[in-house]
Amino acid sequence: MVDPTTGGARGQLDPPPSWAPGGHGPDEFDYRPLRIDATVTRAAAATMLAVRAEFAGWELARVLRFPDGSRRVWLRRRRSPGLLPDLTP
């Protein structure tokens, strides 16, 4: 039996790079998997994801809904080059 909380039989947490539309490479996006419990309403889940999108720059990449009502969600955002440390003392 496949456990949906562990990412399935493969045990993967990150979605395959082929999910990136437009032929974006696997290093162009950061992915964050989330599990939303079955007790969370659709409206509450939408609000939670909207807050992450607005304030942290995440967008919805994929949603899987399981027979027990729980959801597995992958968020993605473009990687930004890290800031270089200040070299002055």
Residue 78 has pLDDT above 70, yes or no: yes
At 79 the pLDDT is 82
Cα 37 to Cα 41: distance, rounded to the nearest angstrom: 9
> Does any domain span residue 36?
yes
Segments of the chain assigned E as strands: 29-36, 59-65, 71-78
Q: Provide the whole-model pTM.
A: 0.61
Cα 53 to Cα 20: distance, rounded to the nearest angstrom: 17
Per-residue pLDDT of 21-45, as tens digits, reads 455 555 788 899 999 999 999 999 9
The parent domain of residue 33 ranges over 27-80
> Does any domain span residue 18?
no
> Does any domain span residue 3?
no
Compute the average pLDDT of residues 58-76: 94
> Does any domain span residue 13?
no
- In sign, the C-alpha dihedral spanning 2, 76, 14, 83 is negative
Residues in the chain: 89
* Count of domains for the chain: 1
> Does any domain span residue 75?
yes
